Amino acid sequence: MECTGNMSAAPLLVLTVAVLAVLASTCAADPEPIQDFCVAVPRAGGEASPAYPGFPCKPVSAVVSDDFFFAGLAAAGSTDNPFGASLKPGNVEAFPALNTLGVAINRVDLAPGGVNPLHSHPRAAELVHVITGRMLVGFVSTAGKYYSKVVGEGETFAIPRGLMHFQYNPGNASARAMTVFNSQLPGVVPAATALFGADPEIPDAVLAKSFQVDAEIIKLLKSKFKNPGWPEPAAASPAQGTTATQKSCTGSGSATQVETSTASTAHTGAMSRTSSAPLLVLSAALAVLASTCIADPEPVQDFCVAVVPRAGDAAAAACPAYPGFPCKPASTVVSDDFFFAGLAVASDTDNRFGFNVTAANAETFPGLNTLGVSIGRVDLAPGGVNPLHSHPRATELIHVVAGRVLAGFVSTAGEFYSKVLGEGETFVVPRGMIHFQYNVGGVAAQVITAFNSQMPGVVAAGPTLFGSDPEIPDAVLAKSFQVDAKIIKLLKSKF
């Protein structure tokens, strides 16, 4: 149906507001404000968590200037611990004024040779800014490539969301860094503690198979993280004036507020001239908001069958500098573009892990481009394991088609959740959490995995920690896992 010049602008403005609100609510991000601020009311110790994400707002009438002030990062924390490190958080739990503002800040202090051990943040990218001293900062990509830099005073290093990383003091003097995040509560998945200090424990058989070592090495590593004292951060003083209570604080998005305001301004100036202006506002606002969502690219048409550059192709060398994939011309799209037979046949599990994964993502199934979903097949031999890994860009559903499979993940609090699944049963793994599937039956097992991303990404714990290219320095790993270099060299030899 064509849009005519007689259409009233008012309904289109209402549509603009409604669509923006819906789109904002679907963004995988922190809660967005619909007011200037929402100073959080922290949850009291032992109080049941409210049945909604985030925190309620302190009444505006009770908010004072000190609510926006935080002195918790002013003093250095103690580095007298096995890691030679101290972390002081400035997140929404410590600094309630950050609620709905989408930022957090920490202080990291490192003694000479100290390390902020390998970890990831499932909900945020990170900027590491060195204030004093020197720090070796590095992360490992989902392709297993290790990126690092010795960062000096006043210099900054960026770490993408969900990737394993660390900070290490290679100098002879103490070092201090400020770390900032694009989330009010980034979450932390500490590699060593999540793998070897989870409560309850991840079974030895899963870990031994995942890291290709015998049970004695696993028991040694577990002994180091029964009560590690890390990464529990040093207590930071909360902001003042946070005792008032309120039942709830809901909202859909700051982008919604800003763009709606823009729409109203455009409407006021253009209403008398043309009723097509709100359509332009709607299109522009949708584009801006979609581009700010930390999520898969949003469709602006029914489909966008990907043109995936292939290695060695001339097209690959000329791949345009934008995220995602370009679209195949609609005139050349056929029914087979939406069909994928790659999961129909079992894959070979004759390898040291006894598993294989067949992925149907936007690279292998181009019809998924912009659709925000993907699917995979995991085949497991008896005793086989899909080794410990995480997906930085997606939540995962694990559905058992045949056999019996132990599925489990470790939360940012170090708690291990697991279940033995039978045929037709399903288990969900939150985005960015370290997890696995292990065949506990006497016959082959088949699992279908589904994701809310066209490209979930994979951070495989073993290869990421011990098989990156170039290698993570032995000193960083030995300090992170609290073992001597011989154990690190043994683990590296497996990957």
DSSP-assigned states of every residue in 175-242 = EEEEEEESSSS---EEHHHHHHS-BSPPPHHHHHHHHT--HHHHHHHHHHSSS---SPPPP-PPPS--
Binding-site members for Mn(2+) are: 119, 121, 126, 165
Cα(467)–Cα(145) distance, integer angstroms: 9
Beta strands in 351-461 (DSSP E): 355-360, 374-380, 385-390, 396-402, 405-410, 416-421, 426-429, 434-439, 445-451, 459-460
89 strand-pairing partners: 106
Q: How would you write the pLDDT of the chain (495 residues) with one tens digit per residue?
A: 333 444 445 554 454 444 444 444 444 456 666 678 888 987 665 444 555 567 888 998 998 888 888 999 989 999 999 999 999 999 999 999 888 888 899 999 999 999 999 999 999 889 898 999 999 999 999 989 999 999 999 888 989 899 999 999 999 999 999 998 888 999 999 999 999 999 999 999 999 999 999 999 999 999 999 765 554 444 444 444 333 333 333 333 333 332 333 333 333 333 333 344 444 444 444 444 444 444 566 666 777 888 887 655 555 444 445 567 888 998 998 888 888 999 989 999 999 999 999 999 999 999 888 888 899 999 999 999 999 999 999 889 888 999 999 999 999 989 999 999 999 998 989 899 999 999 999 999 999 998 888 999 999 999 999 999 999 999 999 999 999 999 999 999 999
pLDDT of residue 452: 85
> Which residues are documented as binding site?
106, 116, 119, 121, 126, 165
Beta-carbon neighbour count of residue 408 at 10 Å?
A: 24
Which one, of 398, 395, 394, 374, lies nearest residue 386 by Cα?
A: 398
What token pair was written down for 372?
Answer: 């925000």
**What number of other Cβ atoms are within 10 A of residue 374's Cβ?**
24
CA distance 121 to 98: 18
Q: How far apart are CA 149 and CA 43, in angstroms?
A: 39
CA distance 25 to 253: 7
Checking phi first, is residue 102 left (phi over 0); if not, alpha (psi -120 to 50) or beta? left
**In this structure, how many other beta carbons lie within 10 angstroms of the beta carbon of residue 155?**
15
Q: Which residues are annotated as a binding site for oxalate?
A: 106, 116, 121, 126
CATH code for residues 205-230+300-495? 2.60.120.10
Cα 219 off chain centre by: 29
CA atoms within 13 A on the CB side of 70: 23
What pLDDT score was predicted for residue 217?
Answer: 96
Contact 299, 371 (CB under 8 A): yes
pTM: 0.76
Element (H, E) at 148: strand 146-151
Q: What per-residue confidence (pLDDT) applies to 378?
A: 97
Cα of 138 vs its chain's centroid, Å: 17
Tokens of 143: 């392709």
